[in-house]
Amino acid sequence: IIRDFEALGHWVLFDLWDDEAAPSVSPALIVADVRSPRSDTLQRMQKCLALFRRKSLPLLWLLHNSSPRARIQGSALQAEHILQYDRLGLVLPGVIERLTDDEKKATANAMACEARDFLISMFTDTSALTPAQVDVGTAIVTKAIAETNIGDWLQVVWSFDNVTHQHCLLVAGLAAAFARSLGMSERDSRHLTKAALLHDIGKVAVPVAILNKPSFLTKDEMLVMRTHAAHGHAMLQGRGFEAEMLQVVRSHHEMLDGSGYPDGLAGSQIPDVVRLVTICDIYAALIERRPYKAPMSMVRAYEILKEMSGRLDPDLVRAFEPIAQAFTPIGKNGHAQPA
């Protein structure tokens, strides 16, 4: 199997009869290839699975004969898929794609919910917020994007009711994916994701009635909403956050032509990390759902980014295209579909 299907992924062989062997990887799929399963073989198989099988980790059970006993044995091991060995070449690639895709979706769901719980605690009590605390949430997001994909992450986050939590997690996920697409170092990737996760922390000072208003904001309400950038910056000063991180919180609504807020910065006054987060922030706002608007298609949202030439960094917008191209337009169910 390893020889014939090496191109499908990285395989690790585990010998059931080697008591010294121990799993050194966290697999996405287990393929059980036991030619003549006996009771002692099944016992060893159960022992093996107990070592490194997570609750959602799929098991593919290969049959070397079509006896009812062999199928019962696979079912007893809670195999997600039972496959006849002589059909391996025709079916295995599709089965692996489906099973590992299900695993990625389950992982994305668990991690997005964990990140949401982190955000709830972060927004509930900001009085003692520290860089180390934000690092916890950052690690959840970067790990989720590395182990799944941005499409699965967005599908889960779109289901969250709180619009602020949804938006922050959309922006953080997009930033993590953007960093990976740009080939950033692990340190720089964490830095960008952390800034994205933190960028709207000032919204804790905005009245809930404005944050969760089920319709467009009035002019006066928009003025109040726009105070969140300066509020967030003031809130985090003196707590050990890097100057660049503080600038992202304060300046993520600044535009290269000077038309942004709160300080009307322009051109070289806006550092790259702010420009990166701004692109993710605008794109997330376009594709997220609100009570008063449907989510925009990925294609149209990216077109709008390109139309903002002069306000957004055109080189970074072009670099963002692979993230936007990870999806097809909005489907009938209102969700963006991975391409």
Q: Residue 11 maps to which CATH number?
A: 3.40.50
User: Of 187, 266, 245, 254, whose CA–CA distance to 226 is shortest?
Assistant: 254
What's residue 163's pLDDT?
87
User: Do 216 and 283 fall within a single domain?
Assistant: yes
Is 117 domain-assigned?
no
Is 325 domain-assigned?
yes
Is 269 domain-assigned?
yes
On the question of pLDDT at 23 being above 70, the answer is no
Is 77 domain-assigned?
yes
pLDDT above 90 coverage of the chain, percent: 45
User: Do 146 and 11 fall within a single domain?
Assistant: no
User: Do 168 and 317 fall within a single domain?
Assistant: yes
User: Do 79 and 136 fall within a single domain?
Assistant: no
Is 88 domain-assigned?
yes
| 8 vs 74, more confident | 74
What's residue 181's pLDDT?
92
CATH number of the domain at 196, please.
Answer: 1.10.3210.10
User: Do 130 and 93 fall within a single domain?
Assistant: no
Q: Which two tokens stand for residue 163?
A: 């619009």
User: Do 196 and 321 fall within a single domain?
Assistant: yes
Give the residue numbers spanning the domain of 63. 6-97
Q: Are strands 336-338 and 327-330 parallel, antiparallel or unpaired?
A: antiparallel
Helix (H) or strand (E) holding 244: helix 243-251
pLDDT above 70 coverage of the chain, percent: 81
Is 207 domain-assigned?
yes
- Find all residues with CB under 8 Å of 265, minimum gap 6, and list them: 251, 254, 258
Alpha-helical runs (H) found in 252-320: 272-287, 298-307, 314-319
On the question of pLDDT at 328 being above 50, the answer is no
Q: How high does pLDDT run on average in the chain? A: 83
What's residue 339's pLDDT?
33
What's residue 59's pLDDT?
79
User: Of 258, 262, 300, whose CA–CA distance to 282 is shortest?
Assistant: 300
End-to-end CA distance of the chain: 29
Q: In this predicted structure, which of 90-94, 161-165, 219-223, 285-289 has the lowest mean pLDDT?
A: 90-94
User: Do 84 and 202 fall within a single domain?
Assistant: no
